[in-house]
Structure 1
């Protein structure tokens, strides 16, 4: 393919106890239009996911470009030149997988340029950029994913989300750095906390696929959220208030967005959401898509 469009969904990682293991694809999409040209590189950015376009590079350092180059090299593809038009709707640095989506769009574009469908190696290629596969696998495969790494090899399995689950996100105006919030995590956690989270992560898979009635206990976490709370007090407060109101709320990825896993798409009126933009986002069941232009 020499002229095509890549549509890639946002994602929410961790989902409470599934730290670096669980991811959920959401119906908010970035679109990258790709065209092969005779020579050179041209990158146009028309939106920057609630950020200024001036902060997004338009040269070889652009994340989509880097992912395309990396994938083409691995697949043995030579491209004379590229023209990219990027339409970004996923908020940057908010915990909705914007960087993973950019990487996945680049990987999918590389496969399209090679006239190949993404395969298991695509998960590896995408996850290499961030060191874990939860967001990337969700954007690549859609639905609910379970991701893991063994001996440096990333893998993921996709599961179908229960049809009654209606995710709601509350996105604040402030940004967060995954690297900074990850630095707040301790090198060791108490054994009871690890055991608690292992059980709840298993329950989360059951709740998300079979029995949404147990979503509230299934999304309880002791591994990471309370350690990071100081980085985004408004987020921590909103998660706490939602859970007190019976809503299965978590920090989305590294934050500061809040993810509420509901079955009615409603945030209780008693919960204060000042400073957040609240919207219902459906689960994206298919992941990244490549279509001709």
Structure 2
């Protein structure tokens, strides 16, 4: 089978660990069940990060695939993977979330369980989010469109909303990588009540702006909870966010950074937006989420 997974951008300014959007930049994985000892894998890859990823059962897609089969009460069959990666690694565009979603989706489909069945989809989302540690990126890659993610106790949940037709995302991708655990370590344990209230209002406004009235995006993408605290990790990223916003363009750090997500009107950027060290990628909103093209069930 072939699994195609979109990139994602999380937070979108004020929606820390809660808001995300799927972007039309894709990783593709061909998965085949083969003869061999259970739990083993053979992996080949091309594209982003191909030289640095494991080529055996330690590959993230394989690990998630096998764990999902275990959750479904199935054997961890031997597999062969061929990966074509287009999502930059460790840049804040959800590369790990895409790999996790690919593994979960492949596991369900190879097991003969329809991923888009509501019960299966809810469980698949929970398994993917539990692997990632939060649901915003995986929900976007799984469901497509604009997503709102939350937790009910220890259960991860998400809802997908249709993105407004006038959204034209642009990702400014730097050459340098970032690690989510490192940048999260810069966040304070407590924030002022006024800042929390500010972000609650802006996050609610962001849902409206992203789905109904994009003219409100400059205000709706303002943040006081996380971006400025992370400035020591990537000062050029924060400087670009501020420069874009000063030019009237809605902009925010994409996930854990260091990519910047901009949402310019009609997709048109001012001359002042271009920055040395960043590559601007015009990425339409992906509205479908993960796609699976499969044959007959392979797992018994």
Given the two structures, how large is their TM-score scaled by the length of structure 1? 0.96
> 3-state DSSP class of the match of 1:100?
helix
Of 81, 85, 96 in structure 1, the residue corresponding to residue 82 of structure 2 is 85
> 3-state DSSP class of the match of 2:169?
strand
Q: Is 1:124 the counterpart of 2:121 in the alignment?
A: no
**Which has the higher mean CA deviation after the structures are superposed, 190-199 or 270-279?**
270-279
Which residue is equivalent to 2:252? 250
Q: Distance in 2 between matches of 1:158 and 1:272?
A: 32
Shift of 1:198: 0.1
Shift of 1:124: 0.5
Shift of 1:80: 3.3
Which residue is equivalent to 2:298? none
Question: In 2, are the aligned partners of 1:22 and 1:147 still within 8 Å (CA)?
Answer: yes
Shift of 1:70: 1.0
> 3-state DSSP class of the match of 1:231?
coil
> 3-state DSSP class of the match of 1:23?
strand
Which residue is equivalent to 1:265? 267
Of 32, 39, 47 in structure 2, the residue corresponding to residue 35 of structure 1 is 32
> 3-state DSSP class of the match of 1:129?
helix
**Which has the higher mean CA deviation after the structures are superposed, 196-205 or 55-64?**
55-64
Where does structure 1 lack aligned partners over 5 or more consecutive residues?
none
Q: Distance in 2 between matches of 1:271 and 1:164?
A: 20
Q: Is 1:96 the counterpart of 2:98 in the alignment?
A: no
> 3-state DSSP class of the match of 1:84?
strand
Shift of 1:279: 1.4
Question: In 2, are the aligned partners of 1:181 and 1:254 still within 8 Å (CA)?
Answer: yes
Q: Distance in 1 between matches of 2:88 and 2:193?
A: 36
Question: In 2, are the aligned partners of 1:77 and 1:113 still within 8 Å (CA)?
Answer: no
Of 126, 132, 135 in structure 1, the residue corresponding to residue 137 of structure 2 is 135
Stretches of 4+ moved more than 4 A in 1? none
Aligned pair count reads: 287
Residues 195-214 of structure 1: CA distance to partner in whole angstroms, max 9, x if unpaired?
Answer: 00000000000000000010
Q: Distance in 2 between matches of 1:16 and 1:75?
A: 36
> 3-state DSSP class of the match of 1:239?
helix
Which residue is equivalent to 1:111? 108
Residues 89-129 of structure 1: CA distance to partner in whole angstroms, max 9, x if unpaired?
Answer: 00000000000000000000000111112210011000011
Q: Distance in 2 between matches of 1:75 and 1:261?
A: 40
Q: Distance in 1 between matches of 2:123 and 2:33?
A: 24
Q: Distance in 2 between matches of 1:80 and 1:205?
A: 42
Question: In 1, are the aligned partners of 2:249 and 2:265 still within 8 Å (CA)?
Answer: no
Q: Is 1:287 the counterpart of 2:284 in the alignment?
A: no
Shift of 1:79: 4.8
Residues 201-231 of structure 1: CA distance to partner in whole angstroms, max 9, x if unpaired?
Answer: 0000000000001000000000000000111
Q: Distance in 2 between matches of 1:267 and 1:230?
A: 26
Which residue is equivalent to 2:156? 154
Q: Distance in 2 between matches of 1:287 and 1:78?
A: 27
> 3-state DSSP class of the match of 2:267?
coil
Which residue is equivalent to 1:55? 52
> 3-state DSSP class of the match of 1:18?
coil
Residues 45-88 of structure 1: CA distance to partner in whole angstroms, max 9, x if unpaired?
Answer: 122x2x3x331011221110111011111112225321000111
C-alpha RMSD of matched pairs (Å): 1.0
Given the two structures, how large is their TM-score scaled by the length of structure 2? 0.94
Q: Distance in 2 between matches of 1:20 and 1:148?
A: 8
Q: Distance in 1 between matches of 2:272 and 2:92?
A: 25
Which residue is equivalent to 2:224? 222
> 3-state DSSP class of the match of 1:85?
strand
